[in-house]
Amino acid sequence: MIRSIQTLLVPIPTIREHKLACTVMREQLMVLVHIQTNDGYEGWGEATTIGGLSYAEESPHSIKTNIDTYFTPLLIKERPTSTAQAMHLLNKNINGNRFAKCAIETALLDIEGKRLGVPISELLGGRVRDQLEVAWTLASGNTDTDIIEAKQVIEAKRHRIFKLKIGSRSIAKDVEHVIAIKQALPDCRITVDLNQAWTELDAMKGIKLLQDGGVDLIEQPISMRNPAGLKRLKQHFDVAIMADEIVQDPQNAFYLAANHCADVFAVKINQAGGLKNACLIGQMAHLAGIELYGGTMLEGPIGTAASAHVFSTYPSINFDTELFGPLLLTDDILTKPLDYNNFGLTVPTGPGLGIEVNADKVYDYAERNLSRASANKNNLKINMNA
């Protein structure tokens, strides 16, 4: 049974600015959940978002507050004895909060796997692959810088698939940027991600130019509130159209699959509301003939390992993954980093998540974040009283 649940905000700077249509990231504030049981096991989960509330309806601070205020008292009081019971309890009593639920489920599956001596992938139906190819996102915003960065990671055999974040500039400038990179990397697959930045009319113009320029995949070009528009784009263009932000829980994914709104689904464990939900979305997509792409919320190594376990179980994942989150951070919170080699990520094979978290480092970062928050609060009081 659960003895304690700690929710920690862990800030780690990124190696460079990461520019999206909706925000610019210079730091990733990870939300980590540390669960300990009465029989001596511990598990870790992660509920990281992209850019706080600029991307999704949950932010690191709201996730921590809701877990501490609602999730933890409920789980401690009701004392569920399995992951399934715990998630049923949470889903029955707490609406939404998909990111927070994902972190709890991940930590509980980590414990369950350790107790049984098997990787999480085996609890999810069993893996069919041990290696996942990983795309790298070029998001400096500067064409020459992005080309140099891409050639460096190709030379190091780290990545040969690239995603470009666009949508914050004019269509002409964005297309010029993308085509220049595609021409510099003719043998590499290129995806562009709009993060919903274009209107449907903009998308009709922009996608035509990108398709003619040899781009391989267009990710969420228009608002997630316009599934019919996404379907129209899918029917109009030959280049594959991928749904991302619009793919949320299994019920939502079922509607999208039944209506053939996209060629590809980007699946993210946090966005799906947990690992088992992400598996269910993958199964529905497979049955509907929709291709799969292993997405990321730019999680650190805990969420990345959890995602890898899920994606290793997919019957097919023809558009590969973008599980590069830990490589974007300036520090690692594992005692042994995840194994990135030969353009991909090796799925951990140990019990549970198959990783060992450096708890001392995690709690040190969390303490630093508390000190920073306290200092900011004091400065605000001083400014208000001035």
Among 163, 165, 182, 276, the one annotated catalytic? 165
Please give the C-alpha separations between residue 345 and each of 25, 46, 152, 216, in angstroms, as whole numbers. 24, 19, 18, 22
C-alpha span between 181 and 372 (Å, rounded): 39
101 is catalytic: no
171 three-state secondary structure: helix
As a 3-state breakdown, the chain gives helix, strand, coil percent values, each rounded to 5, of 45, 20, 35
Q: Is 107 left (phi over 0), alpha (psi -120 to 50) or beta?
A: alpha
Could you tell me if 124 and 309 are in contact, meaning their C-beta atoms sit under 8 angstroms apart? yes
Strands (E), the chain: 2-19, 24-37, 42-46, 131-133, 136-138, 161-165, 189-193, 217-219, 240-243, 264-267, 291-294, 340-341, 344-346
> What is the DSSP track for 99-125?
HHHHHHHHHHHHHHHHHHTSBHHHHTT
C-alpha span between 129 and 292 (Å, rounded): 15
Burial (CB < 10 A; 0-12, 13-18, 19+), residue 221, is: buried
Name the DSSP class of 332: -
C-alpha span between 196 and 295 (Å, rounded): 16
Please give the C-alpha separations between residue 175 and each of 15, 208, 255, in angstroms, as whole numbers. 26, 10, 32
Name the DSSP class of 164: E
Query: Which residue, 106, 61, 60, is CA-closest to 276?
Result: 106
C-alpha span between 289 and 79 (Å, rounded): 41
Contacts of 250 (CB under 8 A, 6+ apart): 272, 277, 280, 281, 284
Q: What's the N-to-C CA distance of the chain in angstroms?
A: 51
The residues annotated as belonging to the active site are: 165
